Amino acid sequence: TDMFTYDPGFMSTAACESAITYIDGDKGELLYRGYPIEQLAVNCSFLDICYLILNGELPNSAQKEEFDQTVTHHTMVNEQMHFFLRGFRRDAHPMAVLTGLVGALSAFYHDSTDITNPEHRHISAIRLIAKMPTLVAMAYKYSLGQPYIYPQNNLSYTGNFLRMMFGTPCEEYKVNDVVERALDRIFILHADHEQNASTSTVRLCGSSGTDPFAAIAAGVACLWGPAHGGANEACLKMLEDLQANGGIEKVGEFMEKVKDKNSGVRLMGFGHRVYKNYDPRAKLMQETCKEVLESLGLQDDPLFKLAMEVERIALEDPYFVERKLYPNVDFYSGIVQRAIGIPTSLFTAIFALARTVGWIAQWNEMLSDPDYKIGRPRQLYTGYSAREVGTIDTRK
Strand partners, 21: 32
* 219, 202 Cβ separation under 8 angstroms: yes
Please tell me whether residue 36 adopts helix, strand or coil conformation. strand
Smallest separation, CB 250 to ligand CMC (Å) = 17
Specify the stretch interacting with ligand CMC by CB under 6 A; choose among 12-20, 22-30, 201-209, 225-233: 225-233
* DSSP for 146-209, written as a single string: PPP----TTS-HHHHHHHHHH-BTTBPPPPPHHHHHHHHHHHHHHS--SS-HHHHHHHHHHTTT
**Binders of ligand CMC in range 185-214 (CB under 6 A):** 196
Catalytic residue check, 272: yes
Which contiguous run of DSSP H or E holds residue 23? strand 21-24
Specify the stretch interacting with ligand CMC by CB under 6 A; choose among 79-87, 171-179, 261-269, 332-340: 261-269
- For 270, phi and psi rounded to 5 degrees? -125, 145
**Binders of ligand CMC in range 149-188 (CB under 6 A):** none
Output 172 or 322, the one with its CB closest to ligand CMC.
322
Q: Does position 237 bind ligand CMC by CB under 6 A?
A: no
Smallest separation, CB 110 to ligand CMC (Å) = 34
* 44, 50 Cβ separation under 8 angstroms: no
Tell me which of 263, 323, 368, 378 binds ligand CMC, using CB under 6 A.
323
Tell me which of 21, 328, 337, 364 binds ligand CMC, using CB under 6 A.
328
Closest CA to 366 of 129, 200, 132: 200
* 100, 339 Cβ separation under 8 angstroms: no
Output 9 or 383, the one with its CB closest to ligand CMC.
9
Output 204 or 282, the one with its CB closest to ligand CMC.
282
Q: Does position 221 bind ligand CMC by CB under 6 A?
A: no
CA pseudo-torsion sign 43, 330, 339, 142: positive
Total residues at interface with ligand CMC (CB under 6 A): 19
* Greatest pairwise CA separation for the chain in angstroms: 78
Catalytic residue check, 48: no
Residue type, 395: R
Tell me which of 28, 212, 271, 358 binds ligand CMC, using CB under 6 A.
271
Output 211 or 279, the one with its CB closest to ligand CMC.
279
| Active-site residue (options: 68, 190, 272, 279) | 272
Specify the stretch interacting with ligand CMC by CB under 6 A; choose among 17-25, 107-115, 125-133, 227-235: 227-235
Instruction: Fill in the DSSP letter of residue 270.
Output: B
CA distance 138 to 78: 12
Output 142 or 359, the one with its CB closest to ligand CMC.
359
- The edge-to-edge listing of strands for the beta sheet with 35-36 is 21-24, 29-32, 35-36
| Active-site residue (options: 48, 68, 211, 330) | 330
Specify the stretch interacting with ligand CMC by CB under 6 A; choose among 87-95, 260-268, 336-344, 370-378: 260-268
Which residues are known catalytic residues?
Answer: 272, 330
